[in-house]
Amino acid sequence: MNTLSFFNPRFTSDLFDVIDRNFNDYGYGENGKSAMPRVDVSEKKDSYVLEMELPGYTENDVELDLKDRVLTISSKLKDAKKAEKEEKKEAAESVYLIKERRNTTFSRSFTMPEDIDQEKVTAAFKNGLLTVVIPRKAEAQTKRIMISVA
């Protein structure tokens, strides 16, 4: 049985996984700068397809890493001092009446099934939608061995 799951090295209990999934969506992490983007994962006959909505990001803002069947999707960390200078410059030029948008960072990891072909993974980014296609290896066929008479 092949399964795809969220990778969480800190806890192995299902209870903690449920808490992690539900409460990460509400708040922001450190300094209000972390949010978890939503992900859809589908299984096809020959591949797994992962789609993540990333409005406001470009392909240059996102990193994908696959190691030991753990796929990690994260935003590149921008230089905090540079971002702070930009915010101060903006504040000097204008005064916000409402400011709801934030510069956010994120990191999501998924433990992939054993039947993936790590060498053929592809990713595309279009209109704020990241699509990762993870091909499956062909199933090993049973080989019948003939017994010879000695």
pTM of the model: 0.63
- The percentage of residues in the chain with a pLDDT greater than 70, rounded to a whole number, is 63
Distance of alpha carbon 82 from alpha carbon 84, whole angstroms: 5
Per-residue confidence (pLDDT) for residue 138, from 0 to 100:
81
Tokens 């903006």 sit at which residue?
Answer: 90
DSSP 135: E
CA R_g for the chain: 21
Contacts of residue 66, Cβ cutoff 8 Å, sequence gap at least 6: 72, 112, 118, 121
81-133 confidence digits (pLDDT tens):
555 666 666 666 777 788 777 667 889 999 998 889 999 999 999 999 999 99
Distance from C-alpha of 36 to C-alpha of 110, rounded to nearest angstrom: 13
More confident site: 72 or 7: 72
In DSSP terms, 135 is beta-bridged to: 47
Question: Looking at the predicted structure, is the pLDDT value of residue 30 above 50?
Answer: no
Higher pLDDT, 108 or 9: 108
* Whole-number average pLDDT of the chain: 77
- % of the chain at pLDDT higher than 90: 35
Query: Residue 150 — very low, low, confident or very high, per pLDDT cuts 50/70/90?
Result: confident
Neighbours of 54 (CB within 10 A): 19
Encoded tokens for 65: 């890493």
Query: In which residue are the tokens 């935003």 written?
Result: 75
